[in-house]
Amino acid sequence: MRILSAAALAGVLFLAGCGGDTNDGGRPVPVGGDSSTTSSTPTTGTTTKPTTAGSPKPATTTAPGKAQVIVVPGNFGGNPAVQGLVRSYPLYFKALVTKDDTVLKKQFPAFFYADVSEVIVDANRNGWVMRPPGSVVVLGVSNQPDGIIRVKTCRSQTTQYWDPKAKRWTLVAPKGTPQAIDMVQTGLGWLPYRVAPSSGINCGAVHYPA
């Protein structure tokens, strides 16, 4: 057996202590003393492709339909009964235009329905037509018994029916016609209760917007 000298044995031990990965090449040790290796290859994960929003579409709007009737409250716009008339009159007038009294029967007091449904029946029977727009101008209000408020108005010529056969208005009134409507407060607000006498209402100087 070959016996190594003390100097040779010391050299072998020195080389063994320096052994390991020959490619380490003096890699720096991370701060904190962790000598674990880190991969230089980027981690592959799920990549989310950026979504491209489509071009915004222009907003489409529907032009409001032309009003069939214009109700002018005048100096009485603060009166709750007049406010109720302004809200409900377009439904009443629509029933006249379409010659369909269903909405009157369902949403208006029975007395008012009875007062105006006969006119619609006559229009259907005779082939009369309505030529909107029409307009209604409030001229005054007065208190009546049982909490009723009477609203005095003037209606333009175009709130009357046109007779195509005779080629004339069923009621010729170039300066308009007077109409008084008694209003009553209901669970749905102020609504027409009945058609009242129109005596004393003068429409001679009324200006109608339609």
Q: Output the domain CATH number for residue 148.
A: 3.10.450.50
Mean pLDDT for the stretch of residues 165-170: 96
Q: Strands 69-72 and 134-143, how do they pair?
A: parallel
How far is 180 from 141, CA to CA, in rounded Å? 9
Could you read off the pLDDT of 91-141 as tens digits, one per residue? Answer: 999 999 999 999 999 999 999 999 999 999 999 999 999 999 999 999 999
* Domain extent at residue 110: 69-196
Please give the tally of structural domains in the chain: 1
Q: Is 96 helix (H, G, I), strand (E, B) or coil?
A: helix
Residue count (the chain): 210
Q: Is 142 helix (H, G, I), strand (E, B) or coil?
A: strand
Contact status, residue 115 vs residue 126, Cβ threshold 8 Å = no
Among 184, 181, 185, 180, residue whose Cα is nearest residue 198 = 180
Whether 59 is in a domain gets the answer no
pLDDT at 65: 60
Residue 77's contacts (CB-CB under 8 Å, 6 or more residues apart) are 83, 86
pLDDT at 56: 47
Whether 20 is in a domain gets the answer no
Q: Sign (positive/negative) of CA torsion 132, 190, 151, 77?
A: negative
How far is 89 from 177, CA to CA, in rounded Å? 16
How far is 148 from 73, CA to CA, in rounded Å? 18
Whether 206 is in a domain gets the answer no
Give counts: helices (H), strands (E), the chain: 4, 8
Could you read off the pLDDT of 17-63 as tens digits, one per residue? Answer: 444 444 444 433 333 344 444 444 444 444 444 444 444 444 444 44
Whether 120 is in a domain gets the answer yes
Q: Can you give the pTM of this predicted structure?
A: 0.68
Whether 96 is in a domain gets the answer yes
How far is 20 from 26, CA to CA, in rounded Å? 12
Tracing tokens 């102020």 back to the chain, one arrives at: 190
User: Would you place residue 182 in the very low, low, confident or very high pLDDT band (cuts 50, 70, 90)?
Assistant: very high
Whether 63 is in a domain gets the answer no
Which contiguous run of DSSP H or E holds residue 177? strand 177-186
Whether 210 is in a domain gets the answer no
Tracing tokens 């009621």 back to the chain, one arrives at: 171
Whether 161 is in a domain gets the answer yes
